[in-house]
Structures are given as C-alpha cells and as structure tokens.
Amino acid sequence: MHNEKINKINNELLYVKDNLIKLLPEELQKEFFDKSYISGGCIYSLYHGKEPKDYDFFVESNYLVERLRDYFLKQATYTGEVRSGGLYNGINMTITQNAITLGKYQIITQWVGKPEEVINQFDFLHNMTYWRDGKVVCLSDWKFVSGSKIYYNKGRARDIVGTIVRLPRFVERGMTVSNKEISKMLLRLNDVGFSEREIEILENNQLEHFGS
C-alpha cells in the first residue's frame, strides 16, 4: 500500500512540475527543472488521497530566485510594497516577499537552499518530505506522514510563534496534537524568547484563532 501511494504521488508531481515549467520563461525552464524540488503539505495530502490546496516549489539558487522575481514582476498588472500581481496566461498571479504564486503553484522565495537545509527547518514532522527527480524522500519518518497526529520538529530554529499560530490550520483539517507536543513548542519559545516580528504576529492575529 505504501509503495502504491508513493508511485501515485510521483506520477502526480511529475505532471505538476511539468505544468509549472511550461508557465516559466523558456530561458529559465531548464535551470528551474534542475534546481527545484516540491515539498510542503501537498505530499502529505496526496499520501492521504486528498487534493492539495497548493503545490510548494523550492529552489536551490538565490540567483534563479532573483531572475524569476524580476520576470514575473515585469508581467504584473499592479504593483505594491507588499503585494504585486495580476493575470498571467489566464492564471491568477501574486508576488510577495515570500513567494511567487501562479494559481495552485507556489515558488517559495523566502527560503532558498538544498532540501536538507530548507526542510529540516519545517514546523512539523509530517511535512518533512520532498519530491525530486522522480523520487519522494522523507527526512523524518514515514510513520509521521501516514498518521494524523502533529509532532513538532525540535530542530526548528526559527519562528516558534508562527509554528504555534499555524496549529489550528492542521487541526481544522482533522489532525490532532497532544499536550506534550504543545509543551515542546512552548519550552522552545521560552528558550529563544520573542522576536519583534513574533510580537507583531501575535498582535495582528485574531484572538479566536487560539481557541479558549
């Protein structure tokens, strides 16, 4: 059953990557093919037979990110300090500091690097997988991917508040989190303290997102 799921994921992501590459400028297609990989929640969703909300592409080259941003900003029909975008080939396009979004495809520009560098900083163990060159790789353990419980990645060094704030998103999708895992996050937050950015996140977040 596991191998069947992996084969199905591989076939789906081959199709997804091919579709995105067709949307890129011809002069960047080969480099993007060679230096990109898919990660994030889409692999978890596909493993459980669900339609992903979006597909996150990561790249290894800052120079490639710069050229992609330059190209798509030139295609934008509106520009702003925080967000730019418009229609691109009939698809909704949004460009922020964090990502270039083309419909369901997101090219992440905030975090750039090899899979191990980027994915080892993900919030939760069930999302620590990636697809590249026809292979699905798990950097945690497949038991976390196959289950429905949330486990905190203790190796994550950044944005602990963001991790906690994102928890309800996964709970709303039917996952569960134990007090033990929440305690790990809070202890980590106690170790590193609040950054100015994290205080801003808390101040801007609606209170009901945290529950009672």
Whether the Cβ atoms of residue 78 and residue 85 lie closer than 8 Å to each other: yes
The answer, yes or no, to whether residue 209 has pLDDT greater than 70, is: no
pLDDT tens across 119-129, in order? 999 999 999 99
By CB atoms closer than 10 A (0-12, 13-18, 19+), residue 60 is middle
pLDDT tens across 31-83, in order? 999 999 999 999 999 999 999 999 999 999 999 999 999 999 999 999 999 99
pLDDT tens across 180-198, in order? 999 998 888 888 777 777 7
AA identity, residue 50: K
Q: What residues does CATH 3.30.460 cover in the chain?
A: 1-147
CATH architecture of 1-147: 2-Layer Sandwich (3.30)
* Predicted local distance difference test score (pLDDT) of residue 88: 97
Q: In which band, very low, low, confident or very high, does the pLDDT at 158 lie, cut at 50, 70 and 90? A: low
Q: How do strand 105-108 and strand 99-102 relate by DSSP bridges?
A: antiparallel
* Predicted local distance difference test score (pLDDT) of residue 207: 40
Q: In which band, very low, low, confident or very high, does the pLDDT at 157 lie, cut at 50, 70 and 90? A: low
* Predicted local distance difference test score (pLDDT) of residue 192: 79
